[in-house]
Amino acid sequence: MKKRISSYLLIPQLSFAWQGKIVGVSDGDTITVMHSGKGEKIRLYGIDCPEKRQAFGTKAKQFTSTMVYGKVVEVEPMDTDRYGRTVGLVSINGKSINEELVKNGFAWVFTRYCDKPFCNQWYKYQDEARQKKLGLWLRPSIFS
């Protein structure tokens, strides 16, 4: 007897990524991107930056602003958070903003929510940033 394979397994996964211009940076891990004629808040997937009033919160926001403000990015939605914001991967010229924040020590990998295979690499980048004492890892006792 032949084993039947469901047809849904044969359909390639569709990407619902879209492009838009960054019109706002609320903090290191939250941006506003123009989408369908209006600003859409995007929470960066899998990472967490210090809040504005925490150490390195302002620097994380500045890092994100420098990378993307006023530029066109690609947003790959992953989920929607409890506030109704899109949670996504954001890239510019093929470079992941989420990943760059971790690499440069301006974000932690958000253990509770980062569950994709690429998160393992992000943990390695986080460890490297910690070893190099980059950004928020300058004073690890505060953040450990």
Domains in the chain: boundaries: 16-143
Q: Is 47 exposed, middle or buried (0-12, 13-18, 19+ CB in 10 A)?
A: buried
- Put simply, whether the predicted model's pTM sits higher than 0.75 gets the answer yes
Average pLDDT of the chain, as a whole number = 89
pLDDT, one tens digit per residue, over 81-114 is: 999 999 999 999 999 999 999 999 999 999 999 9
Q: Which residues are catalytic?
A: 43, 51, 85
In the predicted model, is pLDDT for residue 5 greater than 50? no
pLDDT, one tens digit per residue, over 15-72 is: 589 999 999 999 999 999 999 999 999 999 999 999 989 989 999 999 999 999 999 9
CATH number of 16-143: 2.40.50.90
